[in-house]
Structure 1
Amino acid sequence: MSDTLPAIAFIGAGSMGGAIVRGLAASGVPVDGPIRVTNRTAARAATLAGIDGVESIALEERPEGNAEAIAASRVVVLGVKPQRMPELLHDIAPHVRDDAIVVTLAAGVPLATYEAGLPGAAVVRAMPNTPSTVGKGVTGIAAGTHATPEDLAIVRRLFETVGEVLEVRGDDGIDAISTISGSGPAYVFLLIEKLAEAARHQGFGDDEALLLARGTFAGATALLDAEGEEPAELRRRVTSPQGTTERAIAVLQDAHLDQVFADATDAAYARAKELAGVNPTPATEVIILKSSD
């Protein structure tokens, strides 16, 4: 495979799509031609207009911008809101190339919807998360019926510019990964919020409490990356027998956090199925096809 990514168009680039555009442009990965990005308003288009290698198109100024960008690109990333997707698929279908790889960022819209709207197209669902905006994302990708291993490799390279990539099987895999890495940053922010509250309970001011909580999470994650050990092992190293940490961990374990997180992710999975119009059922085994090294 060539080191150069094929021509890419982003149809709708809000905060997530914009982050991927910025990550791709900053990565140094060569792209065949400019990265074409369309947005409805000139104000939104202006936020990406100054990036080297990016052609930012405002549809209010160039109404045919979507058609032009799609016709010129092999990879087409759809970044509009889920409720707008059926209308968009209808509008772009005549312009999608025969060799196109259509990548969707929308949550709750199954692969079958895209394959019905774009018959024969190679479709890939992607579930990036918000840390992609700082190059620390985790993105799940799943291939549709017509996507080849080469297509998946191209999509993988695209998302590796903003973090790590995990390839899963089908809509079930994407819905499952959305409950962990997709929603996961909110879980972490909640834990930081609650640890800061505990610091205030121990007598620290607001600024000091947030510094302690935020710095502890950031440092623990950095240590996990640096050591290459399992989290349980690093926890054991911090937990001296009959010490203060052991006492605190016992309280947390008695709260059955494992069940709390299982219940939370099951609820998120059920909601993902509801949004897709599918009867919610318990998640089955997620087939991991390939992950970033």
Structure 2
Amino acid sequence: MNLKVVLVGCGNMGFAMLKGWVNQGALQPEDIYVVEPTEILRQKAQSLGVHALQSADNLPQGFDPAFIILAVKPQVMADVLPAYQQFSPKAAFLSVAAGIPVAQFETILGTETAVIRCMPNTPAAIGQGMLVTYANKNVSAAQAEFVKTLLSTSGAVASVDDEAQMDAVTAVSGSGPAYVFYFIEALTEAGVKSGLPRETASLLAMQTIAGAGALAAQSNEDPAELRRQVTSPNGTTAAALDVLMAGDMQDIINKAVDAARLRSEELGRG
């Protein structure tokens, strides 16, 4: 399979993905062409040994990439995409721009083009992300597997068969890190209120969340069972959980995720 790819945009997410591909050997640097108009970002890309170009016009004549990977902001996608029509439908297109449905890409690139939409989250920047994909009917099994290999360098990868589910994906994993950061903030403040120095409270909150998440990910036990294992009858954890559950924390989380999902649907409609 032709492994030459074009990465359009090398901001925080684009560079994080690029670094993962190179460092983990998913792609060879000489097979990667980065198109980035900002000079300082091009220099960062060049430091990894890839080709770094100012615009699509600088791509080699007769260039035949397997994939165009779009890591630009959603609001500029309509301006950026037409420059890559020349590679459609032979090349597949992978977008990590939030909220843009596959139909918008097909309108510009043609209905025969293979298009994969991906929703990453910010921990992808350190290789600990959650990346979820939806592919149109033109994406082959080999193309889907290649994309999975690339995205796996940034974290765990899952897929959905119904594009409408991408709004729920956005609400759970796309926006989810902010929910966790807020809980860290709240737990830190509670520690300070209980008499701990702020630096200590912050460390306790962050490491507890990081450790609990890692344990849940590595354990064969369901998170509910892990919670029960920590909760001794009439103990300190039980006292705290009584407060959280009495406040119907599950209902609050349900409402928060639903609000994010509805907003994602609104943004997708433009």
Match among 53, 56, 62 for residue 52 of structure 2: 56
Match among 12, 17, 27 for residue 9 of structure 2: 12
Scaled by the length of structure 1, what TM-score is found? 0.86
Identity %: 35
Match among 227, 243, 247 for residue 251 of structure 1: 243
Alignment of 1:200-239 (within 5 A): 200-239=192-231
SS in 2 for 1:98: coil
Judge conservation of contact 2:29–2:48 (CA < 8 Å) in 1: no
Judge conservation of contact 2:71–2:95 (CA < 8 Å) in 1: yes
For 1:81 and 1:68, the matched residues in 2 are separated by 25
Aligned to 2:170: 178
CA, structure 1 residues 69+12, in 2 after alignment: closer, same or farther (shift >3 Å)?
A: farther
Judge conservation of contact 1:143–1:170 (CA < 8 Å) in 2: no
Runs of 4 or more above 3 Å deviation:
30-33, 67-72
SS in 2 for 1:141: strand
SS in 2 for 1:6: coil
Q: Deviations over 1:67-89 (max 9, x none)?
A: 54994311110111111111222
For 2:196 and 2:57, the matched residues in 1 are separated by 57
Match among 14, 18, 21 for residue 18 of structure 2: 21
Match among 96, 113, 116 for residue 105 of structure 1: 96
Judge conservation of contact 2:88–2:109 (CA < 8 Å) in 1: no
| Superposed displacement of residue 31, structure 1 | 4.1
CA, structure 1 residues 97+261, in 2 after alignment: closer, same or farther (shift >3 Å)?
A: same
Aligned to 2:131: 139
Structure 2 unaligned spans of 5+? none
For 2:252 and 2:63, the matched residues in 1 are separated by 48
Match among 96, 108, 122 for residue 87 of structure 2: 96
- Of stretches 196-205 and 36-45 in structure 1, the one that deviates more from structure 2 is 36-45
CA, structure 1 residues 78+199, in 2 after alignment: closer, same or farther (shift >3 Å)?
A: same
| Superposed displacement of residue 92, structure 1 | 2.0
Aligned to 1:163: 155
Structure 1 unaligned spans of 5+? 279-293
Judge conservation of contact 2:13–2:125 (CA < 8 Å) in 1: yes
For 1:129 and 1:100, the matched residues in 2 are separated by 25
Judge conservation of contact 1:6–1:32 (CA < 8 Å) in 2: no
Aligned to 2:69: 77
CA, structure 1 residues 32+205, in 2 after alignment: closer, same or farther (shift >3 Å)?
A: closer
Task: Please tell me the residue identity of whatever aligns with 1:58.
Answer: Q
Aligned to 1:46: 43
Judge conservation of contact 2:22–2:29 (CA < 8 Å) in 1: no
For 1:189 and 1:109, the matched residues in 2 are separated by 26
Say if 2:190 is the partner of 1:198.
yes
CA, structure 1 residues 265+128, in 2 after alignment: closer, same or farther (shift >3 Å)?
A: same
- Paired positions, count: 269
Structure holding more helix per residue: 2
Scaled by the length of structure 2, what TM-score is found? 0.93
Judge conservation of contact 1:8–1:31 (CA < 8 Å) in 2: no
Judge conservation of contact 1:102–1:123 (CA < 8 Å) in 2: yes
| Superposed displacement of residue 55, structure 1 | 1.6
For 1:31 and 1:170, the matched residues in 2 are separated by 33
Task: Please tell me the residue identity of whatever aligns with 1:164.
Answer: A
SS in 2 for 1:146: coil
SS in 1 for 2:116: strand
CA, structure 1 residues 69+182, in 2 after alignment: closer, same or farther (shift >3 Å)?
A: farther
For 1:173 and 1:8, the matched residues in 2 are separated by 28
SS in 2 for 1:166: strand
CA, structure 1 residues 19+276, in 2 after alignment: closer, same or farther (shift >3 Å)?
A: same
Q: Deviations over 1:113-171 (max 9, x none)?
A: 00111012100001111111111111000001321222211111110111110011243
